[in-house]
Amino acid sequence: MATVISPVADVCRSAKHAARELARCDTAVKDAALEAIATALQTRTDEILEANERDMQAGREADIGAALLDRLRLDEARIAAIAQAVLKIVALADPVGEVIDGHRLPNGLDVRKVRVPLGVVAVIYEARPNVTIDAAALCLKSGNAIVLRGSSSAAHSNAALVQIAREAIASAGLPDGCVGLVSGGGREELAVLATETDTVDLIIPRGGEGLKAALSEVATVPVIYAASGNCHVYVDSSADVDDAEAIVLNAKTQRPGVCNAAETLLIHRDIAPAFVPRIVRSLGEAGVLVRGDERTLALTAAGAQAPRADGAGAPGVEAAGEEDWAREYLDLVLAVRVVDSVGEAIEHIGRYGSGHSEAIVTRDTGAARRFSLAVDAACVYVNASTRFTDGGEFGMGAEIGNSTQKLHARGPIGLRELCTFKYLVEGDGHVRA
């Protein structure tokens, strides 16, 4: 099975034509197409796994690293989860046509603010083939055509998934061109896509700061950056240490190669003597390397337990440099710093955070309120892991990415975030005096 990948401009023109038809499609037609995609994913799992293994083998040979390999890998369970996410989107309300606001003017004109599709959405992403289906399903349900530009590391997986999706939606009656794929090669291709102002309405990149920088240099199409996640967990002086330990371990280790994983742990000085040795040892048992400030290093040394005979659980700690506070590791590495107050934690996050997801662990409602109001991020958690920043977890079915911007969407980008609005105004022969 091969997917023909056309030049960028051709794909975008086809998507623009499809978007005009798709915007008028009934919810039932769109849902039938999504159900067809979910069924096809399940019945053609072997094809997908075969294509994915080709990408995985190339990734191993290129030594792309454990974190990227984890993002790239598909198995039966992950494919089933992708199919289930599509069905969850089917179950969600169609945002197209939703009346956001409405009123009658004194002159008798009826004004309604109604949600409508954006048109053509281009999604640029790296080494995560699940995004291919998540993004396509969300765009189709919200009445948008989509142009996908994955990375070369997932070329075979993406081609297989797009072909399966295209065949499924065609059988359901959606217009040709709804789902387009361009190859993953070259800055030149990226520049062409980023300047398709006549056909593309929005670009959403999912990747690191390098992708963000490359796009910002050339893009003339509007962009919502779903970029890096330098996320923090702050353990306040009043924190329940059992809760704090569980939250830190989950935020760092449950899936370290994703943007909502914690990269820095901040600990209040009053709880640090008891908590630092404990959490460093637990992180060590989970295979996490700690990069700590001077106080973290001193407390770790003072509270170190005798290592086990097999060496397991021995704290792995080294000194942090200035660059560690701003770094998104996407790996089993965690920067740790002891701070003097909640205010200092907030200041640190304001200086180094990326605006993605930040958490406080505390039993002090005043500290929780101060943190919640002062921290400038898309998602702020009180006594919960940053790993919950996800469209699926938020009841949105899936997401295209997590926006760290403030316009026009922030946090998980779901169905409603893939819409704009228009004003529908009805009169009865009204003319302006």
CB 412 within 8 A of CB 394: yes
Mean pLDDT of the chain, nearest integer: 93
**What's the whole-model pTM score?**
0.86
b vs e for 8-18, b when ≥16 Cβ sit within 10 Å of the residue's Cβ?
beebbbbbbbb
* Banded model confidence at residue 184, pLDDT cuts 50, 70, 90: low
d(CA 17, CA 376): 40
Work out the average pLDDT over 306-318.
55
**pLDDT at res. 310:** 47
pLDDT, tens digit, 9 for 90 and up, residues 339-368: 999 999 999 999 999 999 999 999 999 999
pLDDT, tens digit, 9 for 90 and up, residues 49-97: 999 999 999 999 999 988 789 889 999 999 999 999 999 999 999 999 9
Work out the average pLDDT over 394-406.
88
**pLDDT at res. 307:** 44
d(CA 71, CA 324): 23
**pLDDT at res. 209:** 77
**pLDDT at res. 185:** 60
Structure tokens at 237: 């002086």
Residue 158 reports pLDDT greater than 70: yes
Give which of 7, 88, 409 is closest to 223, Cα–Cα.
Answer: 409
Query: Can you list the domains of the chain with their CATH numbers?
Result: 8-226+400-426 (3.40.605.10), 231-388 (3.40.309.10)
Residue 306 reports pLDDT greater than 60: no
Of 207 and 332, the structure prediction assigns the larger pLDDT to: 332
**pLDDT at res. 213:** 87
d(CA 329, CA 258): 10
Residue 5 reports pLDDT greater than 80: no
